[in-house]
Structure 1
Amino acid sequence: MKRILVSTLTLLAFLFLGYSCAEEEVETPDDLVFHSLVAEKDTIAPGESTTIKASATGSSLEFFWDATLGDIIGSGSEITYVASPCAVGTNEISCKVTNGNQWETKSIEITVYE
């Protein structure tokens, strides 16, 4: 009887230790919504700039910006786009938003005139 009790307690101890050492999974919620991408001005001259704002909701959001031509200054949900002298024409500025589990991309066109 004593042997069965010791065996049972040993088994329970191993099960408890194995369970307590298990790594918990951290779930990233599927709550990303990219509402809009808006520029202060959509037509500018070379050397001028415009503010572009991304509106998104969700947990732990990160923003990644790209432009076909010109420079992006700043980071996060609001950046400044500066048209370089060689950026005459229509330029696409895109923003990718992610929460680590989902991602969405929106683009906007800025016209740079001579």
Structure 2
Amino acid sequence: MKIVKVLIAAAALPLLASAAFADGSKDCILEGTVHKNSDAAQQGVNVKFHSVSKYDEDANCRVRRGEKMEFKLPPDPRVQDAEDGSPVKYRYRKESDGSSSTELISVGA
């Protein structure tokens, strides 16, 4: 089974000028690109994210320059079967208690 790993480079994330709420929750859209490892020994699929935006106009999604977000995405055959370079969109939610979840919204469109 392929493992989906995610690493968001802090330098690639834009500084978003939205107001931060005291509860610390986030609701964001993460846009990225599928990168498949050419090494047969490491049959992994990586997603490199290049932009972050609010999920909707009322959402809080503040990401500071230099802030690193790192998490594992749940395995999804749509991502694993996607061509190298395919665009992907995820919804990322982080609650004020520190728990987080990700949901695949689209692949290749």
TM-score by length of 2: 0.30
Structure scoring higher RCO (CA < 8 A, sep ≥ 6) equals 2
Structure having the higher strand fraction is: 1
Structure having the higher helix fraction is: 1
TM-score by length of 1: 0.29
When Rg is computed on C-alpha atoms for both structures, the one with the higher figure is 1
